Amino acid sequence: METSRIAIIGGGPGGLYAAALLKRLDPAREITVWERNAPDDTFGFGVVLSDETLGGIEHADPLVYEALQKDFVRWDDIEIVHRGVQHTSGGHGFAALGRRRLLQILHERCHTLGVELRFRSEAPHPDELSRSYDLVVAADGVRSTVRDTYADDFRPRLAAHRCRYIWLAADFAFDAFRFEIAETEHGVMQLHAYPFAADASTVIVEMREEVWRAAGFADLDEAGSVERCAKIFAEALGGRPLRSNKSAWTTFRTVTNEHWSRGNVVLLGDAAHTAHFSIGSGTKLAVEDALALAACLEEQPSLDKALAAYEEERRPVVASTQRAARASLEWFENLGLYLDQPPRQFAFNLLTRSRRVTHDNLRLRDARFTGAVEREFGCPPGTPPMFTPFRLRGLTLRNRVVVSPMDMYSAVDGVPGDFHLVHLGARALGGAGLVMTEMVCVSEEGRITPGCTGLYTARQADSWKRITDFVHAQAPGTAIGVQLGHSGRKGSTKLMWEGMDEPLDEGNWPLAAASALPYKPGSQIPRELSRAQLTDIREQFVAAARRAARAGFDLLELHCAHGYLLSGFLSPLTNRRTDAYGGSLEKRLRFPLEVFDAVRAVWPGERPMTVRISATDWAEGGTTAEDAVDIARAFVAHGVDAIDVSTGQVVADEHPEFGRSYQTPFADRIRHGTDVPVIAVGAISSWDDVNSLILAGRTDLCALARPHLYDPHWTLHAAAEQNYTGPGITWPAPYRAGSRRPQTGRTDGPKPRLTLGS
């Protein structure tokens, strides 16, 4: 592959490191770097690099690694100060150095290798470089000119966020990575600080836009802002001043691109992607991009294949990091929600905010700190948070694990059969505190598919009683709940594995909904329900609830999510009514609340009722996270015992932001915005996730679906893997021999990604 002439636009760490690696791999290459600033210009202060990134640098270029090692400041602790209380967590292993020193090391390495560095020089137009060079690397930052020039090809998306922040420095070294919270008359502000030299620290001050404006920062110049920040955080700074370096208040922008290359032009670092500074990954990602790009150019037979391989390798890593960064960013945006948490739980919540540091990981780093958080939470000795009990009205769940409702589409005439007995019975034996049925339909017309279960006949109720009797007799301590719902406009469709949400080829039944809107093109158009028909459907829910009570269910959940009938009333995208049941959120809530009240009136008083909602439609103009809090408050006012927080599936043209535990921030916001217990759901896949979310106070219960399809005994195995044998779990007597984890074969870790000869 011919890449003898390479142009690199941008002399930051990513561009310089790429230049050094590419030159080292092939000394005959002609490599030129354009940087518009002077060699010693830099607008940040300290740079944090992980051990993983340093390991890659060590293998790729030992000389750069050795130079970095000489200047690194290392520390293990994170200090969190809130309302005058400081908590310290150790074992975190940070390494940092000054950004200016990092650039000097890379400048020296590039000069030694023969890379041409052109400072104070604007790069030629990308078209000209693309014609003149074999490869053009655009490492020109978050405001990339190259990316903007070829926006039709790269298809960038830039998302702005709610906080303002400013990069500053202090002329002393903090002892640890320090987070400090200031509750001012204008609102909450936070300080992020860490040492990067023996006598210097980076200090970032951040606050929401409205707080920034109320505090008058919009009217201050650079010097005034610096002085004001020093006064606000005078205690953390020991009364010492802060200094700036062309520092300005800015709003973080998340950058993503649909494509990372165009012909022989490729994006690298912040030009391709950004990750919020609160997880310290900007320089890390750029350096890792450079490593991967150099390796792919070395390994692949053509430039096209090399750039495709580079993107294929890096995109999943970057996406994962960006999800963690967004979770961290949003945690700080919503910091005010957590101020009243107990100090240790607040600290734990902050440390685990990105979902990359977890309960188990933090316990390995600092068992003493984690143990103190557990004791404050109320965990008995040796008890993981997930195995603590939880009470809802008259029902006490022995642990915090819920088998989430999962449609099985395996009923005949709405009657649950042997399959449902085995399916739900197996998961009840598997140790969860609560097992939920699939959505059980309140009428024949309210089915999603011909295979859906119901509670609209006595025969169906008798079959459900057979299942609840089995659970109560054979899995004592496990509760079983029923989820009642009506399909609305999403009914009369094929079984999931025959074509999800696709209309039946024959045998269709009429649909009813809040408004006469089909779910998607080609779907059946429902009729808009009249007032009399709404009353009929409300009574169908009441009749089903009575049957559920007689069938012996311990808990009833009203399904107001996922675009089914009641959800269709809540969303402005699916409710276009002009009567008393449409328009404002208060009016859109009217029918779901009428159904809730009617069901609660006949549901036994000691048994809890929950409601599942879609906390966002993932679509413009739909239900927002703020709306979801208001929806939850309305149900709380009517006596709901917990909110089961899901998202989406309301409209077909949604754009979910999938990822591990991706729906839990919505549950978190509702829990702290309403003080109602919540059930979190959505890609929660490990017992470590469950422990982390519960101990941080982001949820009260965790509902897992696919993990329970993979392993019906997921909760039992979670107990075994944590060596837990207390009252939060009971092994069925015939299964006790399996209560210890089987031995496994040895697995070797992967080799380093890139190794270069000397």
In Å, what is the CA distance from 711 to each residue of 251, 416, 430, 504, 651?
A: 44, 22, 9, 32, 31
Query: Quick one: how far is CA 487 from the chain centroid?
Result: 29
Neighbouring residues of 171: CB distance < 8 A, sequence distance ≥ 6: 199, 200, 240, 241, 243
Q: Of 99, 101, 102, 109, give the one whose Cα is nearest residue 31.
A: 109
Helix, strand, or coil here: 431? coil
Helix, strand, or coil here: 409? coil
Residue 295 and residue 754 in contact, taking contact as beta carbons nearer than 8 Å? yes
> Rounded to whole angstroms, how far apart are CA atoms 510 and 526?
7
Counting every residue written for the chain, the total comes to 758
Q: Residue ranges of the alpha helices (H) in 253-388?
A: 282-299, 303-333, 343-351, 359-365, 367-377
Neighbouring residues of 723: CB distance < 8 A, sequence distance ≥ 6: none
State in Å, rounded, how far the first CA of the chain is from the last one: 22
Point out the catalytic residue in the list 564, 581, 662, 710: 564
Question: For this structure, is 564 an active site residue?
Answer: yes
| Token representation of residue 303 | 């430039």
> Rounded to whole angstroms, how far apart are CA atoms 328 and 336?
14
Kind plus residue range of the DSSP H or E element containing 620: none
Amino acid at the residue 329: L
> Rounded to whole angstroms, how far apart are CA atoms 666 and 483?
21
Helix, strand, or coil here: 362? helix
Q: Of 140, 381, 449, give the one whose Cα is nearest residue 268.
A: 140
Q: Which residues, in sequence order, are bridge partners of residue 265?
A: 136, 262
Angle of the 458-474 helix axis to the 531-551 helix axis, nearest 10: 40
CA angle 534, 441, 704 (to 5 degrees): 120
User: Cβ of 372: how many Cβ atoms within 10 Å?
Assistant: 16
Neighbouring residues of 293: CB distance < 8 A, sequence distance ≥ 6: 18, 22, 137, 266, 268, 306, 310
User: Cβ of 40: how many Cβ atoms within 10 Å?
Assistant: 10
> Rounded to whole angstroms, how far apart are CA atoms 349 and 439?
33
Burial-class residue 570 by CB neighbours within 10 Å (0-12, 13-18, 19+).
Answer: buried
CA angle 374, 375, 379 (to 5 degrees): 70
> Rounded to whole angstroms, how far apart are CA atoms 666 and 625?
7
Residue with tokens 């150095």: 97
Residue 389 and residue 399 in contact, taking contact as beta carbons nearer than 8 Å? yes
In Å, what is the CA distance from 122 to each residue of 138, 246, 753?
A: 13, 20, 34
Residue 651 and residue 619 in contact, taking contact as beta carbons nearer than 8 Å? yes
Angle of the 590-602 helix axis to the 531-551 helix axis, nearest 10: 30
| Token representation of residue 364 | 């390995």
Residue 661 and residue 682 in contact, taking contact as beta carbons nearer than 8 Å? yes
Residue 722 and residue 728 in contact, taking contact as beta carbons nearer than 8 Å? no
Kind plus residue range of the DSSP H or E element containing 135: strand 135-138
In this structure, is the dihedral angle defined by the CA atoms of residues 195, 75, 375 and 475, taken in order, positive or negative? positive
Residue numbers annotated as active site? 564
